[in-house]
Amino acid sequence: MSEKIYIFDTTLRDGEQSPGCSMNLQEKLKMARQLERLNVDIIEAGFPIASQGDFEAVQAIAGEVREPTIAGLCRANRMDIERAWEALREAYRPRIHTFIATSDIHLKHKLRRSRSEVLEASVEAVKIARDLCEDVEFSAEDATRSDIDYLVEVFDAVLEAGATTVNIPDTVGYSVPGEYGALIQMLRSRLSHHEHAIFSTHCHNDLGLAVANTLTALERGCRQVECTINGIGERAGNASLEEIVMMLRTRGSILPFYTDIVSEELYAASRMVVNLTGSFVQANKAIVGKNAFAHEAGIHQDGMLKNAQTYEIMTPQSVGLKSSSLVLGKHSGRHALLRKYQDLGYELSPNELHRAYFFFTKLADQKKEIFDEDLITIIQDGIKTIPDTYKLKYVHAQGGNQQLASAVVQLQQGDDEFVATAHGDGPIDAIYKAIDRITGITGRLLDYNVSAVSRGKDALGEVFVRTRFGGIGYTGKAASVDVIDASARAYLNAVNKALYEAGRLEREAPRTASA
Ligand code: KIV
Ligand code: ZN
């Protein structure tokens, strides 16, 4: 039968205390609310004696976030514990989490205390905490580098003193899975008072093994996992919550465990950590990285289009993403391109697809990623014939250094003709304003380029414009012996593309909405 694993989230304590990850009170509250939506079992909200800010954050979270247990960290001494309790006492389900190091390295160089002094302090701390709170966790910092007999002695004593959870941290991420699993198993077999206690795992990622060690600990009897969103934490970080949760969910058939996490909230939690701390997630990070559900290789995209299970072991929706993405780049194939065009609302004939693919591969050689706008430009510039909604009948513009530039434009739309005049910062600007007046859509000119395409005084001039209408970019070009005429028609070319696209989107809208 599947057993429940308690998720102890320490993003706001171990995560927040790592370089560049600090958050203020409002940010911590916001994060705690998201952790509640995620349905974590325990939120370690901070280390109340560490600072006034930490104290207030733990107190605020304890007062507001009611569903999960709220834990506060404290060293193994009365002052720390009482301060933690002061911050936690309003919590609906408070937990005091007290810790002390047990390895000789820490005892000798950091604490400068003997083993018996640390043993005594541990027991004393748990007793003080238990007098205040029913739920007390004890952590033996640097457990994985501690003398095993001594560790047994300390854990036995704190369990007897009333600790309800015992945590076995791999504080410096030094363990490898077999070794860590053996330690957990040995502790469970040698400790005498643990029938009702929960064993907890807390792994750091210095050797990239935090999640692997955590999994082994579960297999050997731990039922609480300490972890953080995006794996943030001291140095190389802590075990990543989303990886553990999705591992248990995805491999449930061979891992007889479950969590109560609402996995659909994982992506939102991950983005929130990034937004609040500015600590970015690498693109290839499991579960929440930008590429975790993105496919570029042609063979993969082809497989994905036939059946997503070919290359995805979990659905993007299960972690809170809308869909997988087929990233168009130089490794993409025709199938993916065709699908992308269909998604954009274009049905291409085999011949059109053939030509579009030719331009696409040329562009993909120059650009790392191809965006929707690039694809639209490929279509509009060479593949599909865009109807001329408006045709230029007449243009006249004048300017000069002593007079305000002005233009008169006459356009034809079907059987109708329209005339407009405008002033502008130069004759070209005046022409474009006059055109906007007739069409009723206002464009922004981003680039204007004129070049001669033949020789001599009567050379054919080609005008190329880059414009933006309603947030979408359109190019336009036209050639003429008269540069004023070419300029007007180049802009009109872009306008006609924008009008065609707007009409197409409008025609597509009901279809997309009901799909
Ligand atoms: O890594 C560690 O040992 C800790 C303890 C305080 C639990 O964070
Ligand atoms: Zn830690």
Instruction: Please list the residues that pair with 479 across neighbouring strands.
Output: 462
Kindly state the helix (H) or strand (E) to which residue 449 belongs, with its residue range. Answer: strand 444-452
- Chain centroid to CA 70: 26
Atom number, ligand 1, closest to the C-alpha of residue 204? 1
How far does residue 169's CA lie from ligand 1's centre (Å)? 6
- Where residue 457 falls among pLDDT bands split at 50, 70, 90? low
Max Cα-Cα span within the chain: 101
Average pLDDT on 117-135 reads: 98
Give me the chain's average pLDDT, please. Answer: 92
- Where residue 511 falls among pLDDT bands split at 50, 70, 90? very low
359 is a domain residue = yes
Check pocket membership of 169 for ligand 1, CB cut-off 6 A: yes
**In the numeric block, which tokens belong to residue 220?**
């050997």
Check pocket membership of 171 for ligand 1, CB cut-off 6 A: yes
Would you state the pLDDT for residue 67?
Answer: 97
How far does residue 50's CA lie from ligand 1's centre (Å)? 14
CB atoms within 10 A of CB 289: 15
Residue 515 has pLDDT above 60, yes or no: no
Q: List, in sequence order, the alpha helices (H) in 49-92.
A: 52-64, 78-88
- Chain centroid to CA 236: 19
CB 15 within 8 A of CB 40: no
Query: CA 369, 243, 296 angle in degrees (round to 5)?
Result: 20
Site to probe by mutation for ligand 1, drawn from 18, 171, 224, 234 as the one with most ligand atoms within 8 Å of Cβ, is: 171
- What domain range is 449 assigned to? 391-506
Q: What's the Rg (C-alpha) of the chain?
A: 33
Residues 349 and 266 in one domain: no
How far does residue 67's CA lie from ligand 1's centre (Å)? 24
Check pocket membership of 141 for ligand 1, CB cut-off 6 A: yes
Write out pLDDT tens, residues 353-389. 998 998 899 888 887 778 877 887 788 766 677 788 9
Check pocket membership of 99 for ligand 1, CB cut-off 6 A: yes
Residues 223 and 346 in one domain: no
Residues 188 and 305 in one domain: no
Residues 6+ apart with CB under 8 A from 343: none
Residues 62 and 150 in one domain: yes
Write out pLDDT tens, residues 23-43. 999 999 999 999 999 999 999
Question: Which CATH number covers residue 444?
Answer: 3.30.160.270
Residue 257 has pLDDT above 60, yes or no: yes
Atom number, ligand 1, closest to the C-alpha of residue 99? 6
Would you state the pLDDT for residue 378?
Answer: 82
How far does residue 31's CA lie from ligand 2's centre (Å)? 19
Instruction: Please list the residues that pair with 478 across neighbouring strands.
Output: 463
Query: What does DSSP assign to residue 426?
Result: S
Residues 315 and 259 in one domain: no
Average pLDDT on 267-275 reads: 95
If we measure between CA atoms, which residue out of 375, 505, 503, 380 comes closest to residue 439? 503
How far does residue 11's CA lie from ligand 2's centre (Å)? 10
Q: How many domains does the chain have?
A: 3
Check pocket membership of 14 for ligand 1, CB cut-off 6 A: yes
Torsion angle (degrees, nearest 10) of CA 301, 305, 306, 307: 90
Residue 137 has pLDDT above 80, yes or no: yes
**16: phi then psi, degrees, rounded to nearest 5:** -65, -25
Check pocket membership of 94 for ligand 1, CB cut-off 6 A: no
Residues 188 and 51 in one domain: yes
Check pocket membership of 324 for ligand 1, CB cut-off 6 A: no
Would you state the pLDDT for residue 163?
Answer: 98
Would you state the pLDDT for residue 466?
Answer: 87
Residues 462 and 501 in one domain: yes
Average pLDDT on 101-125 reads: 98
Check pocket membership of 170 for ligand 1, CB cut-off 6 A: no
Atom number, ligand 1, closest to the C-alpha of residue 101? 3
Residues 351 and 499 in one domain: no
Among the candidates 357, 383, 409, a domain finishes at: 383
CB atoms within 10 A of CB 169: 24
Residue 514 has pLDDT above 70, yes or no: no
Query: What does DSSP assign to residue 197?
Result: P
- Chain centroid to CA 159: 40
What b/e readout covers 429-447, taking b as 16+ CB neighbours within 10 angstroms? Answer: bbbbbbbbbbbeeebeeee
Residues 262 and 403 in one domain: no
Check pocket membership of 16 for ligand 1, CB cut-off 6 A: no
Site to probe by mutation for ligand 1, drawn from 44, 75, 139 as the one with most ligand atoms within 8 Å of Cβ, is: 139
Residues recorded for the chain:
515
Would you state the pLDDT for residue 296?
Answer: 86
222 is a domain residue = yes
Q: Which residue has the tokens 């075990």?
A: 239
Residues 348 and 426 in one domain: no
Residue 454 has pLDDT above 70, yes or no: no
Cα separations (Å) of 268 from 31, 37, 228, 275? 10, 10, 14, 10
Q: Measuring from atom 8 of ligand 1, which residue has the nearest CA?
A: 14
